[in-house]
């Protein structure tokens, strides 16, 4: 009788779990998986007639110079931004973790996430254009020091636009990175740190031997979120420089937008499958690395 009761209770819990998850599973299936399967099908067909043409669409996009440029710039942007964001967030979070009034400061760091993208773009335009605040500031320093004259560099119309975009990404995403680092640091047992100090460990040794090894979970979460968010920087780049920005910030999202406008749905489908497959592969690799370190 007791065994039947336990089995009944377990089945009831399992049913409740599936009932609770059903709306989410249905939503993912209906709005994510099925549309992606349709995109995958279209990647092997022509845009107008829908006739099967094998891997011709994939050959076309890999031979396309705009696609090559967009892939190169997107990879470069991602692999430059993520290390900077991770390190900057940790550097800020370490001293904050020792403050008792860190709550208000955390709110201030999250403020950029709440700002509309259009507002951020206006600020960047005022700051980085030829007659922007940065050039005026540098001109004043040059006049005061006598080292240079007037500066009218167009940061958004030159290769410097890439670093403006990097700065924008790091500035906007540092907040949640700091919060995640803080959650990880504050979750470390004080007894472990105290034991390290008793054993004669210095502040630096405690950091590398105790703090960092216990922050692997936070690091994994931050890297995944930062990696995904690096593919969402398109709004800032698009609003600042339009559909055809300076070459260094021509990203995959620009390419998709331009192909959509030109109704090149076959190329869009093939490129979307490649990008989706790459994102999935990277996340799986990171997950495998995380599991090995557990």
Mean pLDDT to the nearest integer, 10-39: 81
Mean of all residue pLDDT scores within the chain: 80
Confidence at residue 107, expressed as pLDDT on a 0 to 100 scale = 64
Mean pLDDT to the nearest integer, 11-26: 78
Minimum mean pLDDT range among 73-87, 111-125, 174-188: 111-125
Cα Rg of the chain (Å, integer): 25
Mean pLDDT to the nearest integer, 107-136: 75
Asked whether residue 163 carries a pLDDT value surpassing 70, the answer given is yes
* Integer angstrom CA distances of residue 101 from 97, 173, 183: 9, 22, 15
Q: Which residue's structure tokens are 């049913």?
A: 15
Q: d(Cα 36, Cα 15) in Å, to the nearest integer? A: 29
Confidence at residue 84, expressed as pLDDT on a 0 to 100 scale = 92
Q: d(Cα 121, Cα 254) in Å, to the nearest integer? A: 16
Q: Which residue's structure tokens are 């396309």?
A: 64
Task: Give Cβ neighbours of residue 143 (< 8 Å, ≥ 6 apart).
Answer: 149
- 45 forms beta bridges with 52
Task: Give Cβ neighbours of residue 45 (< 8 Å, ≥ 6 apart).
Answer: 51, 52, 53, 57, 266
Asked whether residue 44 carries a pLDDT value surpassing 70, the answer given is yes
Q: Could you tell me if 266 and 57 are in contact, meaning their C-beta atoms sit under 8 angstroms apart?
A: yes
Confidence at residue 2, expressed as pLDDT on a 0 to 100 scale = 53
Count of Cβ atoms closer than 10 Å to residue 266 Cβ:
22
155/84: higher pLDDT = 84
Minimum mean pLDDT range among 54-63, 172-181, 201-210: 201-210
Asked whether residue 3 carries a pLDDT value surpassing 70, the answer given is no
Phi, psi angle pair for 280, to nearest 5°? -65, -40
Structure tokens at 160: 């410097």
- 280 forms beta bridges with none
What does the buried/exposed string (b/e) look like for 148-187 if buried means 16 or more CB atoms within 10 Å of the residue's CB?
eeeeeeebbeeebbbebbbebbbebbbbbbbbbbbbbbee
56/125: higher pLDDT = 56
Mean pLDDT to the nearest integer, 25-35: 84
Confidence at residue 108, expressed as pLDDT on a 0 to 100 scale = 66
Structure tokens at 91: 């550097």
């Amino acid at each position: 009788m007791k065994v039947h009761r336990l089995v009944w209770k377990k089945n009831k819990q399992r049913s409740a779990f599936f009932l609770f998850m059903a709306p989410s599973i249905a939503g993912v299936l209906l709005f994510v998986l099925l549309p992606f399967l349709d995109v995958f099908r279209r990647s092997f067909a022509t845009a107008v007639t829908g006739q099967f043409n094998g891997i011709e669409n994939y050959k076309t996009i890999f031979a396309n110079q705009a696609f090559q440029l967009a892939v190169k710039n997107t990879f470069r942007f991602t692999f430059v931004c993520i290390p900077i964001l991770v390190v900057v967030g940790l550097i800020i979070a370490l001293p904050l973790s020792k403050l008792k009034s860190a709550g208000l400061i955390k709110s201030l760091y999250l403020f950029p996430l709440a700002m509309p993208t259009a507002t951020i773009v206006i600020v960047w335009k005022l700051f980085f254009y030829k007659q922007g605040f940065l050039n005026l500031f540098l001109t004043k320093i040059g006049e005061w020091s006598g080292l240079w004259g007037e500066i009218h560099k167009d940061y958004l119309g030159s290769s410097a636009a890439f670093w403006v975009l990097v700065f924008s990404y790091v500035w906007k995403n540092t907040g949640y990175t700091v919060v995640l680092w803080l959650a990880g640091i504050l979750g470390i047992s004080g007894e472990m740190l105290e034991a390290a100090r008793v054993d004669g460990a210095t502040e630096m040794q405690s950091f590398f031997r105790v703090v960092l090894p216990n922050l692997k979970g936070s690091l994994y979460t931050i890297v995944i979120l930062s990696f995904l968010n690096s593919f969402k920087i398109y709004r800032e780049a698009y609003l600042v420089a339009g559909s055809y920005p300076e070459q260094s910030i021509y990203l995959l999202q620009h390419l998709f937008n331009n192909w959509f406008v030109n109704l090149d749905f076959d190329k869009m489908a093939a490129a979307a499958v490649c990008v989706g497959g790459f994102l999935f592969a990277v996340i799986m690799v990171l997950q495998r690395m995380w599991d090995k370190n557990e």
